[in-house]
Structure 1
Amino acid sequence: MPTISMFYGILVSMYVLDTQKHHLPHIHVRYAAFKTVIEIPSGEVLEGSIPAKQMKLVQAWIVLHADELMADWELAAHGEAPYKIDPLR
């Protein structure tokens, strides 16, 4: 699972060919012992949870990088590795 960004202890990943379980464009987010799956570009939680502060950071990052995330999703859905995306600063 390629990590596409990392900021403030938050790891954002996107699986290649990961269209079976959720059927929606999404990212996998890890923070400490927490894990969640978040739809892109809406920022809605599909599964799991992370603390509210980190969720707000991830959702802000999604808004800033929505086009890049959707482009990465297209690559990953077709079996190609997604590109890295700048972290939240």
Structure 2
Amino acid sequence: MVTLHRGAKWKIAVYAEQNHALPHFHIECPEHRSSVTIEGLSEIAGGVPKGVLKEALAWAAAHQDELRATWKELNP
């Protein structure tokens, strides 16, 4: 697992696992977790509070190349 960014109460992480679904990252906060596609920035599982989602997606939109590269490195 690589944490790419930490917000005030949330973080964005990419995991390395066998049989991973399509390229995605996780938004994690104390009691919530969401999986979001890298290409479309759409939630595919879970859910985080709307304010967290808005902040995290803004960061992700500006860092999609970094997310893609990290995904490819961890999930060759």
Find the counterpart in structure 1 of residue 38 from structure 2: 40
Give the alignment partner of residue 52 of structure 2, picking from 31, 48, 54. 54
Aligned residue pairs total 76
Give the alignment partner of residue 70 of structure 2, picking from 65, 69, 72. 72
Find the counterpart in structure 2 of residue 10 from structure 1: 10
Structure 1's unaligned 5+ residue stretches are 79-89
Q: What is the aligned-residue RMSD (CA, Å)?
A: 1.4
Alpha-carbon separation, structure 2, partners of 1:19 and 1:60: 28
Question: Quick one: which amino acid aligns to residue 31 of structure 1?
Answer: C
Please give the TM-score of this superposition, normalised by the length of structure 2: 0.88
Find the counterpart in structure 2 of residue 20 from structure 1: 19
Contact 1:38 1:45 in 2 (8 A): yes
Question: Quick one: which amino acid aligns to residue 70 of structure 1?
Answer: R
Q: Which has the higher contact order (CA 8 A, sep 6+)?
A: 1
Structure 2's unaligned 5+ residue stretches are none
Report how far residue 21 of structure 1 moved: 4.3
Q: SS at the partner of 1:41?
A: coil
Greater shift in the superposed pair: 43-52 or 2-11? 2-11
- Percentage of matched positions with identical amino acids: 25
Say which structure is richer in strand: 2
